[in-house]
Amino acid sequence: SLAGKTALITGSTSGIGLAYAKVLAGEGANIVINGFGESDAIEKERVGLEALSGAKALYCGHDLTRVDQIEAMMSQAADTFGGVDILINNAGMQHVAPVEEFPIDKWDLIIALNLNAAFHTSRLAIPYMKSKKWGRIIQTASAHSLVASPFKSAYVTAKHGLAGFTKTVALEVATDGITANCISPGYVWTPLVENQIPDTMKARNMTREQVMNDVLLAGQPTKTFVTAEQVAATALFLCSDAAANITGANLSIDGGWTAQ
């Protein structure tokens, strides 16, 4: 049980982040959710999280591309719950363009959100974890923290950086009861992915099955999408005592993608 612990999950108003929030709330942890979206829908999710165990859920809508906003979010979490025991850096975004045409503002935003934000949340959460002699830092990295694909230079750079940052943190806090690990999914079935299918069918004159198998799952040998629940189950395991000696690791959940 995670009763009495507080989990802060960035980018948890949808997709993988929301799946983490649900599984950790189900174990009794207080939850801080973060991300953008329609306020009624977010409030519904927040109340739903509280109903899972009776623990509290707080919504923070801060923009994690800005350092002052990250600091405000971490202060609000500390004021509400006393600190953060489980930190999941999950918020991320993508932009696809050749490097010589890559928009400079998109590069800066992706590095800020997918990489720098994890540095800031970690530096602010670690003192509290050290005082408790217990903590879990988990990053949603990606298969793109291990291998590259063309036209995703900012994303691949940020995710490789995140993997290196995580190893460094793991070494620094190794004797403090704190672990730091990456989870690296391949293609995960989220609304984001599902919504791309109709346009891709039109653009490539393909059936739904062709888009899924020949485009999206081309590099994923199992030919099935990872589910957000499978990613969340791995995070829950990393929070257990059984995983106390898993640190500095990069756990692939990619259907064999990076085995090739």
CB of 174 to ligand NAD, least distance (A): 25
Q: Which is nearer to ligand NAD, 11 or 83 (CB)?
A: 11
Minimum distance from residue 104 beta carbon to ligand NAD (Å)? 17
Q: Which of 86, 140, 119, 118 is nearest to 252 (CA)?
A: 140
Whether residue 218 contacts residue 224, with contact meaning beta carbons closer than 8 Å, is answered with no
Q: Is residue 178 a contact partner of residue 134, using CB atoms and an 8 Å limit? A: yes
Q: Point out which residues bind ligand NAD (CB under 6 A).
A: 11-17, 34-37, 63-65, 90-93, 113, 140, 142, 185, 187-188, 190, 192-193
Q: Minimal distance in Å, beta carbon 257 to ligand NAD?
A: 10
Name the one residue in this structure whose structure tokens are 């949603």. Answer: 140
Q: Which of 20, 59, 128, 155 is catalytic?
A: 155
CB 4, min distance to ligand NAD, A: 26
Name which of 12 and 30 has its Cβ closer to ligand NAD: 12
**Closer of 130 and 258 to ligand NAD (Cβ):** 258
Would you say 104 or 242 has its CB closer to ligand NAD?
104
Annotated active-site residue 59? The verdict is no
Residues known to be catalytic: 155
